[in-house]
Structure 1
Amino acid sequence: MSITQQYVLDTHRAQRLGETPPPPPGTHDWRTARELRGYWQFRAVVAELPAQGRLRRALGRWPRPWARSAW
């Protein structure tokens, strides 16, 4: 069963029981992503790691072939 089919089934069931329908799929995706980012930052602080800039520093250590100096 796809997400859309499950949503239609849940909406129909809620309508028959007189309840509020569930939110459409994808409604809370951005909020969930923000909450996950906050959770990862919290875990980094608990683990005594810097909460910001870890990815940027890690990527800065990779070799950059486009930034090589001309000989």
Structure 2
Amino acid sequence: MSITQHHLLDTYRARQLDEPAPPAPGAHDWQVVREWRDHRQFRAVVAGRPARGRLRQALGRWLRPRPRSSC
């Protein structure tokens, strides 16, 4: 059974029982992504790392290495 068929069956059952219809598949995907990003930022702050710009900062170090000091 596909996800669409399952959703249609759940909607039909909800109508028969006078219950609210379930949300459509994928309706809350962006909310989940935002919550996941917020949780990652929270964990970074708790661990003492910068919460934003970590990837760009790492790429900058890799693309622009510091000049070696001649001692």
TM-score (norm 1): 0.77
Aligned to 2:5: 5
Aligned to 1:22: 22
- Separation in structure 2 between the aligned mates of residue 56 and residue 19 of structure 1, nearest angstrom: 48
- Separation in structure 2 between the aligned mates of residue 45 and residue 23 of structure 1, nearest angstrom: 34
Aligned to 2:47: 47
RMSD (CA atoms): 1.6
Aligned to 1:34: 34
Could you tell me which runs of 5 or more consecutive residues in structure 1 were left unpaired when the two chains were aligned. Answer: 65-71
Share of identical aligned residues, percent?
Answer: 64
- Separation in structure 2 between the aligned mates of residue 13 and residue 59 of structure 1, nearest angstrom: 52
Could you tell me which runs of 5 or more consecutive residues in structure 2 were left unpaired when the two chains were aligned. Answer: 65-71
The structure that has the greater radius of gyration is 2
TM-score (norm 2): 0.77
